[in-house]
Structure 1
Amino acid sequence: MKIPPYILLVLATLLWGGNFVIGRAVSEDIPPLTLAFLRWCVAFIIFFPIAFHQLKREWRLLKRHWFIVIILSLTGVTAFNTLVYIGLHYTTSINASLMNSSTPIMIYILSFIFLKEKLSKYQLIGTVLSLSGVAFIIMGGSFTRIVHFTFNKGDLIVIAAVLCWSIYSLLIKQYATRLPGQSTFLVTIGLGAMMLFPFSLYETLSSATAIHWEWSTFAAILYVGIFASIIAFLCWNSGVIQLGANKASIYLNFIPVFASIFAVLFLSERLHSFQLIGGLAVVAGVILSGKINKQRLQS
């Protein structure tokens, strides 16, 4: 029985939305670098038997593009998730997921700067609208924070994570026809875990960041390693193949919706008016830019 693409895409975004809430929930029990390291160790163990045969066939191709593969691992596996988990020590999961929704806009900006791709006036409007929403969230709805520079450092760290993911996404787009999907993902996971190991070891040996081993800690590691990494990845890729990248991209806006619902239900976080206003501006800007971009591609 073939699963409809919209179910696969919604499931992927639901699992990714849960990742923000899990990262926040265990922020006092496990340090961020160790959580990221253990996440990718679990993901590698689970994904290895799935992609190993493809990796054997495509190893020479990956070696040919070794530098790009390392950059993909550094930005998409090592830096993005680690920065998100660090940021969640200082900001709410609702804030983090809302700012993550600005990724498409960040990709437009990077494409304009480095690839010299032209932006339509509607894409510019969407970019300004989304970035204004992000700024409003960071300011907590108070413009006085600009004057006093009293921003939440967790929000700024998440913005850095979004920048890393945007670079990763741009490279994936550029090398989509040259790098195989599953074997590339497996290698980037392995490299990412190796990059994170010395930092995780330092955290583990530091008494100030000791891990509190409870059932919830194990459950969180399994969730982010299996559900938020492998299952979400496979569901998303399958949905994109069936529906197409342009139509599938709009489903990413479900991530902050699910994250906000989970945060309110399980973490007792409050959805403030500034988050709602800023989040709507971010999503509206992304939809506007994506819709215009799609029309231009079809014309």
Structure 2
Amino acid sequence: MKIPPYALLLLATLLWGGNFVIGRAVSGDIPPLTLAFLRWCVAFIVFFPIAFGNLKREWRMLKAHWPIVLLLALTGVAAFNTLVYIGLHYTTSINASLMNSSTPIMIYILSFIFLKEKLSKFQILGTALSLSGVVFIISGGSFASLVDFTFNKGDLIVVVAIFCWSIYSLLVKQYAGRLPGHSTFLVTIFIGAMMLLPFYVYESMTMTNSIHWQWSTIVAILYVGIFASIVAFLSWNSGVIQLGANKASIYLNFIPIFASIFAVIVLGEKLHTFQFIGGIAVVAGVLLTEKK
């Protein structure tokens, strides 16, 4: 039975929304670099038998674009989730997921700067509205925070993570016709994990209790390694193929919705007024940029 594309896209965003909550939930049990490294180790083990056949046939294509593959591994695998997990030690999963919704806006800005793509009036207005929502969330809705420039460092780290993911997304978009999806993902997982390895070793050697092994930590590692990585990736790609990239991108706005619901239920986080207002501004800005 063929699964409808909207169901696949919703499943992907639901799993990605859970990633923010899981990262926050185990922040006291698993150091961020360790969680990121183990995540991609699990993902590689699971995805290897799925994509290895394609890799043997498509290796020359990857080799021809090895600088781009390295940059994809650095920004999308090694940097993005690692920075998110570090940021979640200092901020809430609701804040992080809401700010993550500004990714399309960041991509528009990077396209304008580096690819010289022209922005429509709706994209300019949407970008301003969405970024104002991000600033409102980071400042906690406080004008004094803006004046004093006293922001939560976790929020700022998440902003850097979003910047890395935007570079990754832009590269994926630019090289979609030249780099095979599954093979590229498998290789970037491996390279990204190797990039994280020395940081994981350093973190393990410098922390007296690097990880608290219990059922919750094992489940968390398996979740982010299998469901938030492989299952979400395959579901999203399949949904995009059936529905189209433009229509599918709207579904990314479900990530903060699912993350907020999980955060309230699982972590007992409270959805504050400034988060609600800022989140609406971010999502409204993204929708405005899609207007023709």
TM-score band w.r.t. shorter chain: over 0.9
- Residue in 2 that maps onto 1:130: 130
Paired residue for 1:295? none
* CA distance in structure 2 between the aligned counterparts of 1:216 and 1:192, rounded to whole angstroms: 25
CA distance in 1, matches of 2:127, 2:208: 41
1:49-198 superposed matches below 5 A: 49-198=49-198
Query: Is 2:15 aligned against 1:15?
Result: yes
Looking at structure 2, the residues matched to 180 and 123 of structure 1 have their Cα atoms a distance apart, in angstroms, of: 30
CA RMSD of aligned residues (A): 0.7
1:225 match:
225
Q: Distance in 2 between matches of 1:205 and 1:30?
A: 14
Query: Is the contact made by 1:31 and 1:209 (CA closer than 8 Å) also made in structure 2?
Result: no
Q: Which runs of 4+ in 1 moved over 2 A?
A: none
Instruction: State the shift of 1:290 in Å.
Output: 1.6
Deviation readout 1:35-66 (Å, 9 max, x if unpaired):
00000000000000000000000001101100
CA–CA distance in structure 1, aligned partners of residues 11 and 291 of structure 2:
23
2: CA distance, partners of 1:209 / 1:174: 43
Deviation at 1:209, TM superposition (A): 5.3
Deviations 1:101-135 (A, max 9, x none): 00000000000000000001111000000000000
Are 1:6 and 2:6 matched, yes or no?
yes
Provide the residue aligned with 1:261 in structure 2.
261
For 1:120 and 1:171, locate their aligned partners in 2 and report how far apart those are by CA, in whole Å: 22
Residue 149 of structure 1: how far off its partner (Å): 1.7
Which residue is 1:284 aligned to? Answer: 284
Closer/same/farther in 2, CA of residues 58 and 165 from structure 1, 3 Å limit? same
Aligned residues between the structures: 292
Q: Distance in 2 between matches of 1:5 and 1:174?
A: 23
TM-score for both structures, normalised by structure 2: 0.99
State the secondary structure of the residue aligned to 2:291.
helix
**In structure 2, C-alpha distance between the alignment counterparts of 1:141 and 1:122, rounded to whole Å:** 25
Q: Tell me whether 1:43 sits opposite 2:57 in the alignment.
A: no
Unaligned runs of 5+ in 1: 293-299
Check the 8 A contact 1:91/1:154 in 2, yes or no.
yes
Cα distance in 2 between the residues matched to 1:172 and 1:245: 12
Structure 1 position 269, deviation (Å): 0.2
1:214 matched to which residue of 2? 214
Task: Give distance in 2, aligned partners of 1:291 and 1:81.
Answer: 30
Offset of residue 202 of structure 1: 0.9
CA contact 2:122–2:291 (8 Å) conserved in 1: no
Q: Give the SS at the match of 1:291.
A: coil
Task: Give the whole-Å Cα distance in 2 for the aligned partners of 1:211 and 1:205.
Answer: 11
TM-score normalised by L of structure 1: 0.97
More off after superposition, 204-213 vs 253-262: 204-213
- Matched letter for residue 182 of structure 2: Q
Write the distance in 1 (CA, Å) between the matches of 2:14 and 2:183.
25
CA-to-aligned-CA distance 1:253-277 (integer Å, 9 cap, x gap): 0000000000000000000000000
